[in-house]
Amino acid sequence: MMESKIPVGIIGATGAVGQRFISLLANHPWFEITDLLASERSAGRRYGDVVKWILDDPLPAQVADLAVRRADDGEADARVLFSALPAAEARTLEPLFASKGHFIFSNASAWRMEEDVPLVITEVNPNHLDMISHQQARRGWDGFIVCNANCTTTHLVGALHPLHLAFGVEKVFVATLQAASGAGYPGIPSMDLIDNVVPHSYGEEQKVETEPRKIMGAYKDGRFQFADILITAHCHRVPVLDGHTEAVSVALRQSATREDIIDAFQSYRQLPQELNLPSAPDPAVVVLEGMHRPQPRLDRMAGKGMATVVGRIRPCNLLDWRFSLLGHNTIRGAAGGSILNAELMAYWGKLAT
Amino acid sequence: MMESKIPVGIIGATGAVGQRFISLLANHPWFEITDLLASERSAGRRYGDVVKWILDDPLPAQVADLAVRRADDGEADARVLFSALPAAEARTLEPLFASKGHFIFSNASAWRMEEDVPLVITEVNPNHLDMISHQQARRGWDGFIVCNANCTTTHLVGALHPLHLAFGVEKVFVATLQAASGAGYPGIPSMDLIDNVVPHSYGEEQKVETEPRKIMGAYKDGRFQFADILITAHCHRVPVLDGHTEAVSVALRQSATREDIIDAFQSYRQLPQELNLPSAPDPAVVVLEGMHRPQPRLDRMAGKGMATVVGRIRPCNLLDWRFSLLGHNTIRGAAGGSILNAELMAYWGKLAT
Amino acid sequence: MMESKIPVGIIGATGAVGQRFISLLANHPWFEITDLLASERSAGRRYGDVVKWILDDPLPAQVADLAVRRADDGEADARVLFSALPAAEARTLEPLFASKGHFIFSNASAWRMEEDVPLVITEVNPNHLDMISHQQARRGWDGFIVCNANCTTTHLVGALHPLHLAFGVEKVFVATLQAASGAGYPGIPSMDLIDNVVPHSYGEEQKVETEPRKIMGAYKDGRFQFADILITAHCHRVPVLDGHTEAVSVALRQSATREDIIDAFQSYRQLPQELNLPSAPDPAVVVLEGMHRPQPRLDRMAGKGMATVVGRIRPCNLLDWRFSLLGHNTIRGAAGGSILNAELMAYWGKLAT
Amino acid sequence: MMESKIPVGIIGATGAVGQRFISLLANHPWFEITDLLASERSAGRRYGDVVKWILDDPLPAQVADLAVRRADDGEADARVLFSALPAAEARTLEPLFASKGHFIFSNASAWRMEEDVPLVITEVNPNHLDMISHQQARRGWDGFIVCNANCTTTHLVGALHPLHLAFGVEKVFVATLQAASGAGYPGIPSMDLIDNVVPHSYGEEQKVETEPRKIMGAYKDGRFQFADILITAHCHRVPVLDGHTEAVSVALRQSATREDIIDAFQSYRQLPQELNLPSAPDPAVVVLEGMHRPQPRLDRMAGKGMATVVGRIRPCNLLDWRFSLLGHNTIRGAAGGSILNAELMAYWGKLAT
């Protein structure tokens, strides 16, 4: 579709999410990696020599040969930049790049809840991208920041949104069993995850309880209005490499049978699927039968890691329905979520430089 | 306290729970292991030669030398028998032994919900043991069957009962992260728990939703009345050896502050603690500070594996309060629970032969 | 290359290795799965309904719909059969099928060391396949049995053979860290591999010490002559899903520098690579730099799981050189090894029916 | 035996080994913890408030209340100090303390191979402690540094020394499967040890190949003479919390039967056992039967974690005998090894102040 590929860069390229961006972008039909930005310590060196590659997909040879440049001066050749920065660095560096005209698709949490920053799951709230013009006007930027959601939020909303569209979601109870890769590398010490599980920080729970309300909320005239959904989360880290499992109970505003629920999941086709964007999973939601699925090792790669997998749909004794969901936390839940957002913008012609 | 030790036997002595019974009873001040009953295949052989010992406590030497006898003929020298049988075998063998006059303290699920069988957590409903005389009369037995609860139920009720006494528990949402040892040995294949978690069967969830209502319910004149508590459970198996973690939200009938909640846990002292029974944990509920506790590896041995550990007490967005709990599933949640029940009966002089 | 695909069947189709055969054969350019044979219990039922699929590659839809047939009557439509049977069943069933004219490519250990059965790693000893005519004559079969090696042997020989060709291998010390999947499903209980490693049985060590001597030995006029190589093995099972790691020290008959060793590995191109067989890895041996590689999670899929990965080449204080090797145990080490043998036979036109 | 307890301090008290020192010393009959030294960041604060306690033994209450003092000024009240410092810090701080008169029992690797520093396993080479006077004279110290060995070395020598005494050890091949705790906390990232094993650094292998030669070597007149033993090591990190497994082949100078080998292990009683030192395991070497033992989870606590466990004794095809050994790496292999050295010195009256 694209005549020539759009050059893109990755900020925070050596970390776990940075590596995932590289893996997903290496053979992308629309984007081409031209810039790898990292700490000053790596700057000037060949990427293949500085990265400790931790993915089982091999490091793409052409990327290995790129020279790393320092991230902290806000300079990059590519106008489109994917950010895999830690929150603290994203807080200062992303605005610096945006002020210099760069289009930032960020996986960091730093700006997600800002009142003029779109927090977008491509299937759910592409209309929130209209905020960009307000963001630019308000801040005097030529560039912009668009965030994707927290990994746990992403798949939770991936399963809730079909139900919200069909029946209205009113209350949500969610307990998570999150993979180690969600904490990056080195992340969780192995001594904490051998013969053990670790309760997550309250900060993670707070993200899961608030981000979905922004994402499933309304956008109008430069303002976001949060959805009226009550969420309570219990988050845990478990000895799993990739793939967050979430146990969910929901109260719906309209009554629904089990068949209605399944139908809502299976008929869920949104803009990314309709436009057949390169990274769009189709179906976006995979429904499994069987009381022992989903399982992270078996199901996390559904839709090449971009789908949300749902199973164990059964009545809840307290709310209306309960089910389990699973999704890949560093593909759809991180790098892939940002890339799909960028694909939509590219499709709309808004990434031309 | 006892003048001479009460001889006891273990039915299903070679399995994972059977081994735990042996480990806990080997140096018991009141009980002495005299009978080890197992399948016909092991009968007549030295226990140390037939068991594949899987505990990190070594097999006690004097027990290793005992000869195993077959369980299926309902014969044993000891009147008091602890049952570690699988449910299907417990269904037929436990009544056989009871009909021959044996006192059965069973960890099996087979008879737990029977209308004349006490399902007892020693701290919670020792009065339910009064059902024994009705059971004996109705069935024409000299012996009896007393059950302890499912491992997940045991610790859930261990934490709920203090709150129920103080404020009344109305609704419970629980999500579990259960240890592999709960499935016995060989149990869960390693291929299912390397880089993976497995949703539990619906049967487990149903036990967790119903057993607490019997245990925290009333007993009067030969009838159990279930407590009016609504419970919904999401159960998972995780790569942990021992120790079930449970994430709980509760609605209470009376309002309570965080300090009230903590005080209810910390002031919880029941009959086993008051009588200072040999296996009674004191405190019965251990309250931890810190958002990352409890953790199975660090906390499962609280109270020598007999206590329930509680932490992360914080408000719930949907119900009133949420917290995490943890308990050892094969000590208090299985063998130890039965033994504490037997200790109370022994204290009352009801195990004399 | 093939005008029409050769129909093939899988005996023992529901087990772990059977599933791997299906996964590797589902889209094979030369072979087409027509027969799935399993125990009587599964016979007559749809494969998708009886299998507990444990691979992360999804069960291919067209295979799921095949009806399973019983294996124990020695009947199958396909002449070419891949055997994933346990050793005890292979001992009786494989000759039954061979006697009925079937060509058996077996992953079982039952017939590997038989004096008229070729034990073949396609790169190493394709000439051993000449034994087939002797086997058929001697046993009066129209069919035949060809075995692939034990998973640990396969990759050990995969690394030793280049050195043996170049310098002559005289002595081998090998210590293994083997994956759980090597024991099939359910296989190793999870309680044995959480926070634990388990020494392997001596039988495994004996296979690793003897099979390589047959495979790297000579074949002449209907007789195998074992290679004069002394091997000692220490085998362990570790908490890894797929991928055997082996630490090797070797004494060579001719002296070699580190560069010579690396060159021997990297220049190793054999018949499967020259003929470009569909499943042949190219290169057959992947050499990694870095003292921390190979690692199972990162490297087991080299060559789509068909290559042997070598690293950590350094002098040995006792013998000449030491290194680490790694290979996928259920792909190249099991199903893939058999398939590559069959591909060579198909290329030679010896599987025509 | 002691009239009053000897005050001791721990340098590096907040780390993994520091915690183990505390756990082992908390109720020690001869020693009393008076000083906890750590980085400046923790100085002045209550130990219980700064430590992230990672052991399953609870943090002793009386230790939790001690105030931490800074380690970098070389000041401490206790004359006897156990060092759990990282190597780089030990390199500078341990001499500083020794020069101020402190008796340093160090677990760090920094000074182990120094020509005037005793590297002592209490059972093996207590005579090396005679070097202390030379060390003091040469360096002008009132204090001294005594090292215990690397965790892997400690148990390797624990098993080799009985054989060396009885038959003379000539050559050793060892492959290790080492626990995560050996790398301290945070140590190995969980992403490296989920579904994975990691080859160890060559530095570890070099320690295992050289330290035993010093320890089992001779001491005479202020000089160590290394034992004439050739060792080659392959080291790996595996997903195990505590307990190093080592697969060993040995060539002996005198021939020995399997019974001779077992007898050498079982009759091995040295000074710590004869003097009945408080932390001395008795037996020092535990011999297990069964081809699947030792296993870390089941056997690491033998002798309260102070013994070396041996099993799988069988002939080697290359050398004479092979066997597996296992030992607790942070008890005997680290803190416990230092403590036992200090106990011997205390017994000899050399720690009086």
| Tokens standing for residue C59 | 């069960």
With cut-offs at 50, 70 and 90, classify the pLDDT of residue D352. confident
> What is the pLDDT, as a whole number, of residue A352?
79
Closest-approach residue (CA) in chain C for A303: C58
* Same domain for C164 and C139: no
Closest in D201, D238, D318 to C291, CB measured: D201
D240 touches chain A (CB under 8 A): yes
Task: Please state, for a pLDDT cut of 70, what percent of chain C lies above it.
Answer: 99
CB B177 within 8 A of CB B236: yes
Tell me what the mean pLDDT of segment B23-28 comes to: 97
Q: Least CA distance to C173: which residue of chain D?
A: D318
A299 in a domain, yes or no? yes
Cα–Cα distance, D197 to D177 (Å, whole number): 9
Task: Assign B84 a pLDDT band (cuts: 50, 70, 90).
Answer: very high
Residues A156 and A254 in one domain: yes
Domain membership flag for residue D352: no
* pTM, 2 dp: 0.97
Largest CA distance in chain C: 60
Query: E strand or H helix at C171, and its extent?
Result: strand C169-178
Main-chain dihedrals φ then ψ at residue A285, nearest 5 degrees? -120, 125
Q: In 3-state terms, chain B is what percent helix, strand and coil (to 5)?
A: 35, 25, 40
Q: What does the alpha-carbon distance between residue A110 and residue A108 come to, in Å, rounded to a whole number?
A: 6
- Using CA atoms, how far apart are residues C235 and C232, in angstroms rounded to an integer? 10
Query: Which residues share a beta bridge with A69?
Result: A37
From chain A, the residues in CB contact with C298 under 8 A are 53-56
- Beta bridge partners of residue B119, listed in sequence order: B147
Contact C80, C351 (CB under 8 A): yes
Q: Is B283 exposed, middle or buried (0-12, 13-18, 19+ CB in 10 A)?
A: middle
In this structure, are residues D314 and D307 in contact, taking their beta carbons and an 8 Å threshold? Answer: no
Q: Which chains pack against B, by 3+ Cβ pairs within 8 A?
A: A, C, D
Query: Would you call D244 a catalytic residue per the annotation?
Result: yes
CA distance B112 to D316: 55
A101, A144, A334, C306, C346 from A130: Cα distances, Å: 17, 11, 22, 50, 60
Contacts of A259 (CB under 8 A, 6+ apart): none
In whole angstroms, give the CA distance from residue B75 to residue B268: 41
- Same domain for C85 and C24, yes or no, is yes
Average pLDDT over every residue of A242-266: 98
Any C CB within 8 A of A195 CB? yes
Residue D96 has pLDDT above 90, yes or no: yes
Q: B230 and B137, same structural domain?
A: no
Identify whether A294 is preceded by a cis peptide bond (ω within 30 of 0): yes
CATH of the domain at C167: 3.30.360.10
Does the residue C352 lie in any domain? no
Nearest to B160 by CA among B320, B6, B36, B303: B320
- Do D100 and D159 belong together in one domain? no
Which of D155, D200, D244, D328 is labelled catalytic?
Answer: D244
How far off is chain C from A297, nearest CA to CA, in Å? 6
Res D2: pLDDT: 57
The contacts of residue A288 (CB under 8 Å, 6+ apart) are A294, A299, A309, A310, A311
Q: Between chain B and chain C, how many beta carbons pairs sit less than 8 Å apart?
A: 60
* pLDDT(A65) > 70: yes
pLDDT at B353: 64
State yes or no: pLDDT of A2 exceeds 60: no
Q: Are residues D174 and D107 in the same domain?
A: no
Cβ neighbors of A92 (< 8 A, separation 6 or more) are none
**Is residue D309 in some structural domain?**
yes
What is the tens place of the pLDDT at every residue in B33-80?
Answer: 999 999 999 999 999 999 999 999 999 999 999 999 999 999 999 999
The C-alpha atoms of residue A232 and residue A112 are separated, in whole angstroms, by 19
- Examine the predicted complex and report whether its ipTM is higher than 0.90: yes
Q: Which of D54, D191, D195 has its CB closest to that of A191?
A: D54
User: Which residues make Cβ contacts (< 8 Å) with residue C349, sequence separation at least 6?
Assistant: none
User: What count of residues does chain B have?
Assistant: 353
CA C207 to CA C313: how far, in whole Å? 25
- How confident is the model over D123-144, as pLDDT tens digits? 999 999 999 999 999 999 999 9
Q: Answer yes or no: do A239 and B234 touch at CB < 8 A.
A: no
- In the prediction, which pLDDT does D333 show? 98
DSSP 3-state of C275:
coil
Q: Are residues A275 and A143 in the same domain?
A: no
Calculate what percentage of chain B has a pLDDT beyond 90: 97
In the chain, the amino acid numbered A172 is V
Structural domain range at position D41: 6-150+335-347
Q: Would you say residue A288 has pLDDT above 90?
A: yes
Q: From the CB of residue D44, how many other CB atoms can be counted at a distance below 10 Å? A: 11
pLDDT digits (tens, 9 = 90+) for C290-319: 999 999 999 999 999 999 999 999 999 999
Q: Report whether pLDDT(A353) > 70.
A: no
Percent of chain A with pLDDT over 90: 97
The predicted model gives B144-161 an average pLDDT of 98
First vs last Cα of chain D: how many Å apart?
17
**How far, in Å, CA of B161 to CA of B155, rounded?**
10
- Quick one: pLDDT at residue C201? 86
Indicate if D94 and D179 belong to the same structural domain: no
> Is C199's CB within 8 Å of D293's CB?
yes
The answer to whether A191 contacts D189, with C-beta atoms less than 8 Å apart, is no
Q: Are D43 and D70 in contact (CB under 8 A)?
A: yes
Quick one: DSSP state of residue C162?
Answer: H
Residues of A in contact with B241 (CB under 8 A): 195
Partners of residue B228 in chain A, C-beta under 8 Å: none
D181 — contact with chain A (CB < 8 Å)? Answer: yes
Compare CB distances from C301 to A53, A54, A56 and report the shortest one's residue: A56
Residue B2: predicted pLDDT: 57
Answer whether residue C158 is part of any domain.
Answer: yes
User: How far does B79 lie from chain A, in Å, by closest CA?
Assistant: 38
B278-329: per-residue pLDDT in tens? 999 999 999 999 999 999 999 999 999 999 999 999 999 999 999 999 999 9
CB count within 10 Å of CB C15 equals 21
Mean pLDDT for the stretch of residues A158-185? 97
The C-alpha atoms of residue D15 and residue D107 are separated, in whole angstroms, by 12
pLDDT(D156) > 70: yes
Q: Which residues of C touch A195 (CB under 8 A)?
A: 194-195
Domains held by chain C: number: 2
Which residues of chain C make contact with B188, given a CB cutoff of 8 A?
A: 189-191
Task: Please check the confidence at residue A177 and state whether its pLDDT lies above 80.
Answer: yes
B265 is a domain residue:
yes
Query: Is D301 within 8 Å of chain B by CB?
Result: yes
At B239 the pLDDT is 98
CA distance C184 to chain B (A): 9
Q: Among candidates B73, B4, B56, B67, which has minimal Cα distance to B34?
A: B67
* B94 and B196 housed in the same domain: no
Asked whether residue C353 is domain-assigned, the answer is no
As a whole number, mean pLDDT of residues D201-228 equals 96
- A298, A304, A326, A331: which to substitute to probe chain C, counting the most C Cβ within 10 Å? A298
Closest residue in A to B206 (Cα–Cα):
A317
Per the document, the length of chain D is 353
- Model pLDDT, residue C352: 79
Residue partners of D314: CB distance under 8 A and separation at least 6: C202, D258, D321, D322, D323
Name which of C17, C181, C190, C236 to mutate to probe chain B: the one with the most chain B Cβ atoms within 10 A of its Cβ.
C190
Q: Quick one: C268 and C287 in the same domain?
A: yes
Chain A residues with CB under 8 Å of C54 CB are 298
Q: What is the per-residue pLDDT across A290-319, written as a single tens digit (0 to 9) for each? A: 999 999 999 999 999 999 999 999 999 999
Q: Return the pLDDT at D10.
A: 98
Domain at D34, CATH number: 3.40.50.720
Calculate mean pLDDT across residues C234-261.
98
The DSSP bridge partners found for residue D199 are D236
Other Cβ atoms closer than 10 A to D62: 11
CB A62 within 8 A of CB A26: yes
Q: At what angle do helices B258-266 and B151-167 cross, to 10 degrees?
A: 120
Q: What percent of chain A has pLDDT over 70?
A: 99
Write down the pLDDT at residue C24: 98
D195 touches chain B (CB under 8 A): yes
Question: Domain check: are B78 and B108 in the same one?
Answer: yes
Closest chain A C-alpha to D33 CA, distance in angstroms: 26
Same structural domain for residues B188 and B217?
A: yes
Predicted confidence (pLDDT) at residue C3 exceeds the cutoff of 80:
no
- The phi-psi region of residue C168 (left if phi > 0; otherwise alpha if psi is between -120 and 50; otherwise beta) is left
Mean pLDDT, residues A24-50: 96
Considering only CA atoms, give the Rg of chain D.
19
Q: Does C241 reach chain A within 8 Å, measured CB to CB?
A: yes
- Tell me the per-residue pLDDT of C47-79, one tens digit each, with 9 for 90 and over: 999 999 999 999 999 999 999 999 999 999 999
Domain assignment present for A1: no
Strands D169-178 and D244-252 come out as antiparallel
